[in-house]
């Protein structure tokens, strides 16, 4: 099974879920499998402005992150760090 890649995107402000999802799709292009709010229905704006972006296995994560981070409306974008039981 192909390994999908996940990127987390945080906008500086929540403008609208649909329009911001669409913006991510436009910026990233054809490699997007899914875009969704990380916390659907969230009332707190800083958490509501987080999006989970699933990319296909062919994507260059570095390139996607670079594109996203260059957009002024995006506060940050990153891949989740692995967490292990220690």
Partner 1 sequence: MSVEGEEDKDLTGMNVMKLETYRDAQRACEMLVSDPKVEYAHLIQERFLSPSAKRKVTRGNNQTLDPLISRQWGLVAVNLFQALKMPGFNTAKDIVVAIIDTGVDANHPDLDGIVTDEQNFTSGPLQDTKGHGTHVIGIIAAMRNNKIGISGVCQSQKIMSLKALGPYNGPGYYRAIRYAINNGAQVINLSLGGGHDQTEELLIRKAIKQGVIVVAAMGNEFKEGNPTSYPAAIDGVISVGASTEVDERASFSNTGPHINLMAPGTSILSTVPTYPVELADVLNYEAWPGTSMATPFVAATAALLLAKKPTATLKQVTQALVKGSDKVPGQTGFSKEFGHGRLNVKRALAGI
Which chain residues interact with partner 1 by CB under 8 A?
6, 8, 10, 38-39, 42, 44, 46-47, 50, 52, 76, 78-86
Q: Is 29 left (phi over 0), alpha (psi -120 to 50) or beta?
A: left
- Which DSSP letter does residue 86 get? -
Least Å from the CB of residue 10 to partner 1: 7
Least Å from the CB of residue 60 to partner 1: 19
Considering the complex, state which of residue 42 and residue 71 has its C-beta at the smaller distance from partner 1.
Answer: 42
Least Å from the CB of residue 62 to partner 1: 16
């Amino acid at each position: 099974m192909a390994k999908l890649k996940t990127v987390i995107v945080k906008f500086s402000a929540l403008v609208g879920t649909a329009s911001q999802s669409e913006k991510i799709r436009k910026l990233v292009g054809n490699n997007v499998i899914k875009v969704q709010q990380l916390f659907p229905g969230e009332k707190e704006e800083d958490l509501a402005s987080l999006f989970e972006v699933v990319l296909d296995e062919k994507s260059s994560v570095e390139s996607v992150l670079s594109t996203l981070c260059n957009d002024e409306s995006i506060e940050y974008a990153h891949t989740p760090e692995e967490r292990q039981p220690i």
